[in-house]
Amino acid sequence: MSKENGKEDIEKKILKKSSSEKIVKINKFSDLEGKFLLVKVGTVDDRASYEQIKDVEDKLIKLFKDNNVNCLTFVTHHAVDFSLL
């Protein structure tokens, strides 16, 4: 995939482990600029290993560097939970 093609019509599905499915459509890498992207790897039934999480993280870093994308990304296992206090 070339740099120009990679910036157009990117569609990603992010599956939540609840009764609903959240679909995020990204038309251009620029849609990610300045955003926070949380990537959860694995499920309750198929837990992600450290190596699997690291592999996803490495691939995202390369993808973002190759396409000059400035997006704060956190890759973790499926059961992470955030709270603002």
CA distances from 47 to 42, 77, 81 (A): 5, 7, 16
Q: Is residue 46 part of a domain?
A: yes
Q: Is residue 83 part of a domain?
A: no
Q: Is residue 42 part of a domain?
A: yes
**Residues present in the chain in total:** 85
Rounded distance, CA 9 to CA 28, Å?
A: 6
Q: Which domain holds residue 58?
A: 3-77
Q: Is residue 84 part of a domain?
A: no
pLDDT (tens, 9 = 90+) of the chain, 85 residues, equals 444 444 444 434 333 344 344 555 666 778 888 888 889 999 989 999 999 999 999 998 888 888 888 888 899 998 887 777 7
User: Computed over its alpha carbons, how large is the radius of gyration of the chain?
Assistant: 14
Question: Is 0.75 topped by the overall pTM?
Answer: no
Q: Is residue 30 part of a domain?
A: yes
Structural domain total, the chain? 1
